[in-house]
Chain A
Amino acid sequence: MTCLDFENRVQELLDLRQTELPGELSAHATHCAECHKLWGHLQQLQHSVAAWQTWSPTVTLADAVLQRLPVDFETTANRQIVTTRPACSPLSGFVVLLASAATLLIALGIGWRISSNATYANRQPSAAALAANHLVSVTALAPAADRQLDVLLHGARDAYAALASQAWQEVSTTNVLLPPTDSAAPFSGDDPAASVPETLSRPLAPYGRELRDTVDSWLLQVFQNQDSST
């Protein structure tokens, strides 16, 4: 048995209000000076506590308490009256529910608007839309010569580049996982149409098919217009 075991078991005995050491503990205390001393101190404490706990002070509280009691009850009663809420009408619950729902909807609307403004705070008129309008206006000219065809093709390439640039901006804004090196606009330059790649880079890949289909359909429309005009 260790000294820690001895102390723990002695404390357990005292928890059960036992004051005699069993044989095993007694044997340990006989051979261990520290534990013997500890047991002596605890016994002294028990002895002192016996005198302390039997002393009962005399006091008469009934008069003082009963004297304060009516005042105390009156105060409590008044407090209860003050804090008592008026009875609710049957419709009040429904009105509260309706108001809560309206508040929630307004909050959601405000939150959505703030979120929308934050995402597209710097959004400018769509370059793709401008290019598309330009393409439509050029197409409406109904070109009849090769020079006009070159103008149309140039417009189509501009539109392609603008669409690609626009798609890139949207991807950069929404995809926070893009590495910093990818954040540079791939179509920047004086002549965006000149830098349109044959295949789109990785972040734009999901948009590539859609972009090509769109531009191809515009080009087809341009050629059809040219054919019909010539």
Chain B
Amino acid sequence: MSVDVSELELVQGCLAGKVACQRQFVEQFEGMIFGLCLRMLGRRHDAEDVAQEVFLRAFRNLHRWDQERPLRPWLLTIAANRCRTHLEERGRRPTPTDLQADWLPERRRPGGRDDAEEIQQALATLRPDYQQCFVLFYQQELSVQEVAEVLDCPEGTVKTWLHRARKEMAEYLRKRDIDQD
């Protein structure tokens, strides 16, 4: 993966304190970061908070970014870590059930099934590291090698997590089909 020259200029502009560059930086990556956070956390409000934190951390540590490496995986690493931390904190707090997957209502069809909703619900049943693998591989469309770099773990581990995630989710969907039939 090669570094985009425009990304490099954008980062240099951000480090120089140019507001226009900072705005462009956020706008360029907010879809990717927010998408990851939303799918990982399942709640729009939480995802927005965490995505903002991700950008603030990114700006704070932008001078540490290795310019020889692409920016996207670096940002995804920060986002994945923040999501994992948020999920761990959430695990220690009581979960309000009425807020589950509050980003999906507009896509629900009365009496019907929505594939995205099914996947999101199945995803919520997985372990956080399986979730991260699955989201990075499918939603961010990273390769196994890139997922391993983002999560800072061996490729073999990513493959194992991905296989288990697929199998558990397929099993979840199968059970849902049986229940609905």
User: Contacting B44 at CB < 8 Å: which of A57, A60, A64?
Assistant: A57
Given A52-B120, A57-B103: A47 in contact with B115 (beta carbons within 8 A): yes
Interface residue B87 (Cβ < 8 Å from any Cβ of A): no
| Alpha-carbon distance A49/B122, docked complex (angstroms) | 11
Judge whether A62 and B166 touch: CB under 8 Å.
no
Interface residue B107 (Cβ < 8 Å from any Cβ of A): yes
Judge whether B55 and A61 touch: CB under 8 Å.
yes
- In the assembled complex, which residues on chain B have CB atoms less than 8 Å from the CB atom of A73? 59-60
Judge whether A61 and B170 touch: CB under 8 Å.
no
Judge whether A66 and B19 touch: CB under 8 Å.
yes
Judge whether B159 and A15 touch: CB under 8 Å.
yes
- In the assembled complex, which residues on chain A have CB atoms less than 8 Å from the CB atom of B171? 41
Range for the number of chain B residues in contact with chain A: 35 or more
User: Contacting A65 at CB < 8 Å: which of B26, B120, B144, B163?
Assistant: B26
Main SS class of interface, B? helix
Interface residue B48 (Cβ < 8 Å from any Cβ of A): yes
Instruction: For residue B16, give the distance in angstroms from its CB to the closest CB of chain A.
Output: 13
- In the assembled complex, which residues on chain B have CB atoms less than 8 Å from the CB atom of A66? 19, 22-23, 26
A45-69 residues at the B interface, CB under 8 angstroms? 45, 47-53, 55-57, 59-62, 64-66, 68-69
Q: Mark A91-111, 1 if CB is under 8 A from B, else 0.
A: 000000000000000000000
Q: Mark B103-125, 1 if CB is under 8 A from A, else 0.
A: 10001000000111011100000
Judge whether A68 and B166 touch: CB under 8 Å.
no
Q: Total A-B residue pairs with C-beta atoms closer than 8 Å? A: 96
| Alpha-carbon distance A199/B56, docked complex (angstroms) | 86
Given A48-B173, A72-B60: A65 in contact with B162 (beta carbons within 8 A): no
Interface residue A76 (Cβ < 8 Å from any Cβ of B): yes
User: Contacting B166 at CB < 8 Å: which of A11, A53, A55?
Assistant: A11
- In the assembled complex, which residues on chain A have CB atoms less than 8 Å from the CB atom of B33? 61
Given A52-B120, A52-B139, A61-B55: A15 in contact with B170 (beta carbons within 8 A): no
Judge whether B173 and A41 touch: CB under 8 Å.
yes
Interface residue A138 (Cβ < 8 Å from any Cβ of B): no
Judge whether B107 and A62 touch: CB under 8 Å.
no
Range for the number of chain A residues in contact with chain B: 20 to 34
Judge whether A49 and B26 touch: CB under 8 Å.
no
Judge whether B116 and A61 touch: CB under 8 Å.
no
| Alpha-carbon distance A132/B109, docked complex (angstroms) | 109
Judge whether B159 and A69 touch: CB under 8 Å.
no
Judge whether B59 and A53 touch: CB under 8 Å.
no
Q: Mark B46-80, 1 if CB is under 8 A from A, else 0.
A: 00100110011001100000000000000000000
Q: Mark A1-35, 1 if CB is under 8 A from B, else 0.
A: 00000000001001100000000000000000000
Judge whether A59 and B48 touch: CB under 8 Å.
yes
Judge whether A76 and B115 touch: CB under 8 Å.
no
Interface residue B90 (Cβ < 8 Å from any Cβ of A): no
- In the assembled complex, which residues on chain B have CB atoms less than 8 Å from the CB atom of A57? 34-35, 38, 44, 103
- In the assembled complex, which residues on chain B have CB atoms less than 8 Å from the CB atom of A38? 170
- In the assembled complex, which residues on chain B have CB atoms less than 8 Å from the CB atom of A56? 31, 35
Judge whether B115 and A52 touch: CB under 8 Å.
yes
> What would be 19 A-B contacts, judged by CB atoms less than 8 Å apart?
A11-B166, A42-B166, A44-B170, A44-B174, A45-B173, A48-B118, A50-B115, A51-B114, A51-B116, A53-B139, A56-B31, A60-B30, A61-B51, A62-B30, A64-B48, A65-B22, A65-B55, A69-B59, A72-B59
User: Closest 3 interchain pairs by CB?
Assistant: A41-B170, A51-B115, A48-B115
A interface residues, Cβ below 8 angstroms from B: 11, 14-15, 38, 41-42, 44-45, 47-53, 55-57, 59-62, 64-66, 68-69, 72-73, 76
* Seed contacts A41-B170, A57-B35; 10 additional CB < 8 Å A-B pairs: A15-B144, A15-B159, A38-B170, A42-B170, A48-B173, A53-B139, A61-B30, A61-B51, A62-B23, A76-B60
